[in-house]
């Protein structure tokens, strides 16, 4: 036990010193704007581009956006306020969460290939920890992580060009053991970079969706006390050492959609109508997951997230790699309540990774009909 305590303490000290060292080397305003120590070879090609502010919304909803881009590439301005806050993950199971804009996952950003994302990242002085952001959709400087480290009371601005169409995660990555800890404390989300001419099916024909939903899957590792009750901490740092012990066991205590058990079920169900085509964007920043729509299919699935690749068709279950996002498009053909889940059924039913979709419309007996109700065997 003492050895565990000492090793946890040394990881804590090491990650703090790494964090301190790296914040010192990157915190001065760079004279170049690029990564410190490197000459600028190419200047940003943004003169004359239109600037637009994207009004972000909490998942599972997605910001208003065009599916086919009109006009030239734009500079899309985004603001993230980092919020350290307590969340009740399940009854009597609390986490001192770390969030972008207060939600787990953070908001979905939507842009088009060739657009520039210009993010203002604000770490209010009421927070207790240093944070940053690594965009898997960006190129260089640890996905912008090296250019965005902000201590409480600081803000920073970074701009990157969205050169790869697809869905990608973003997450906090402030160094050392802080990286997985911040990610499994909720500090992750996704961006969708649409092709300028929109999505295409497996034959290259344009396809459109009526509605899009963003589902962020989150693994939590909540420590228990000697009586088996989840421990409620007063600050993120207070829970760090004990959480790290659970994390290194690699078995999550909760695996949830959108921050907490039941966030997308029952009264919080997603909605659709028969005949509507829905795009589901699904991210997991730390673990593999296996999305499945019970009673439906992945008509078109960009399993690895790249919109330059042909989508797979008619999949029953697909795979989201750890640290990635995928997209699936389905046209509902029957009414009823569907379950969209991680088809590791233990993680779905016992740990929380499930959502409901309530679909209205008329039933199609040609697709399915109960030919005889349950009756006594004759
Ligand atoms: Cu963070």
3-class SS string, 207-232: ECCCEEEEEEEEEECCCECCCCCECC
User: Is 192 an active-site residue?
Assistant: no
User: Is 277 an active-site residue?
Assistant: no
Say if residues 325 and 281 touch (Cβ distance below 8 Å): yes
Given the residues 99, 113, 182, 255, the one annotated as active site: 182
Our count of domains for the chain comes to 2
Residue 321 CA to ligand 1 center (angstroms) comes to 22
Residue 172 CA to ligand 1 center (angstroms) comes to 5
User: Is 292 an active-site residue?
Assistant: yes
Q: Give 135-171 as a DSSP string.
A: ETTS-SGGGGGGG--B-TTEEEEEEEE--S-EEEEEE
Query: Tell me, what's the pLDDT at 32?
Result: 73
Whether residues 346 and 232 fall in one domain: yes
Whether residues 168 and 251 fall in one domain: no
Domain annotation covers residue 108? yes
Nearest to 314 by CA among 201, 228, 217, 232: 201
User: Is 187 an active-site residue?
Assistant: yes
User: Is 172 an active-site residue?
Assistant: yes
Q: End of a domain among 196, 228, 259? A: 196
Other Cβ atoms closer than 10 A to 55? 10
Whether residues 187 and 280 fall in one domain: no
Output the pTM of the full model: 0.91
**Token couple for 316:** 């029953």
Domain annotation covers residue 230? yes
Residue 11 CA to ligand 1 center (angstroms) comes to 17
Residue 148 CA to ligand 1 center (angstroms) comes to 11
Query: Tell me, what's the pLDDT at 18?
Result: 45
Say if residues 67 and 197 touch (Cβ distance below 8 Å): no
User: Is 313 an active-site residue?
Assistant: no
Q: Which segments in the chain show pLDDT lower than 50?
A: 1, 3-4, 6, 9, 12-14, 16-31
Whether residues 59 and 160 fall in one domain: yes
User: Is 343 an active-site residue?
Assistant: yes
Domain annotation covers residue 206? no
Given the residues 84, 118, 131, 219, the one annotated as active site: 131
Residue 178 CA to ligand 1 center (angstroms) comes to 7
Question: What does residue 290 show for φ and ψ, rounded to 5 degrees?
Answer: -130, 75
Give the range of the structural domain holding residue 298, as residue numbers without chain letter.
213-360
Given the residues 187, 192, 247, 329, the one annotated as active site: 187
Give CA–CA dist 76/78, Å, rounded: 6
CATH, residue 279: 2.60.40.420
Longest dimension (CA), the chain: 86
Q: End of a domain among 196, 225, 258? A: 196
Whether residues 128 and 237 fall in one domain: no
Given the residues 210, 316, 337, 368, the one annotated as active site: 316
Residue 131 CA to ligand 1 center (angstroms) comes to 4
Give CA–CA dist 341/240, Å, rounded: 30
Whether residues 160 and 246 fall in one domain: no
User: Is 316 an active-site residue?
Assistant: yes
Whether residues 222 and 342 fall in one domain: yes
Residue 132 CA to ligand 1 center (angstroms) comes to 6
User: Is 372 an active-site residue?
Assistant: no
Whether residues 256 and 308 fall in one domain: yes
Domain annotation covers residue 317? yes
Given the residues 115, 118, 134, 299, the one annotated as active site: 134
Whole-angstrom Cα Rg for the chain: 22
Measured in whole angstroms, how far is the alpha carbon of residue 308 from the centre of its chain? 21
């Amino acid at each position: 036990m003492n050895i565990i305590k000492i090793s946890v303490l040394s990881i804590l000290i090491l990650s703090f010193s790494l964090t301190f060292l790296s914040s010192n080397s990157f915190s001065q305003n760079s004279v170049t704007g690029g990564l410190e120590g490197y000459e600028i070879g190419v200047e940003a090609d943004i003169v004359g581009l239109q600037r637009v502010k994207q009004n972000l919304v909490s998942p599972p909803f997605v910001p208003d956006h065009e599916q086919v881009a009109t006009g030239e590439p734009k500079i899309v301005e985004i603001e993230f306020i980092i919020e350290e806050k307590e969340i009740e993950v399940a009854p009597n199971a609390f986490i001192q969460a770390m969030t972008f804009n207060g939600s787990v996952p953070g908001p979905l950003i939507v842009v088009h290939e060739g657009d520039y994302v210009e993010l203002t990242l604000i770490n209010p002085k009421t927070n207790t920890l240093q944070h940053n952001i690594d965009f898997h959709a960006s190129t260089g400087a640890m996905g912008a992580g090296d250019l965005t480290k902000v201590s409480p009371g600081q803000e920073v601005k970074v701009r990157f060009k969205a050169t790869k169409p697809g869905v990608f995660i973003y997450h906090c990555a402030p160094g050392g053991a802080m990286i997985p800890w911040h990610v499994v404390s909720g500090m992750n989300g996704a961006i969708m970079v649409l092709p300028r001419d929109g999505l295409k099916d497996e034959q290259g024909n344009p396809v459109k969706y009526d509605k899009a939903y963003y589902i962020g899957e989150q693994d939590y590792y909540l420590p228990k006390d000697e009586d088996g009750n989840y421990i409620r901490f007063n600050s993120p740092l207070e829970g760090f050492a004990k959480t790290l012990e659970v994390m290194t066991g690699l078995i999550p205590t909760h695996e949830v959609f959108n921050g907490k058990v039941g966030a997308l079920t029952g009264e919080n169900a997603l909605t659709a109508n028969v005949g509507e085509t829905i795009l589901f964007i699904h991210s997991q920043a730390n673990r593999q997951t296996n999305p499945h729509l019970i009673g439906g299919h992945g008509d078109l699935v960009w399993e690895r997230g790249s919109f330059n690749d042909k989508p797979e068709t008619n999949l029953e279950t697909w795979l989201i790699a750890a640290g990635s996002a995928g997209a699936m498009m389905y046209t509902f053909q029957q009414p009823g309540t569907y379950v969209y889940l991680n088809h590791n059924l233990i993680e779905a039913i016992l740990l929380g990774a499930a959502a409901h979709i309530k679909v209205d419309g008329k039933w199609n007996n040609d697709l399915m009909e109960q030919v005889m109700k349950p009756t006594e065997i004759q």
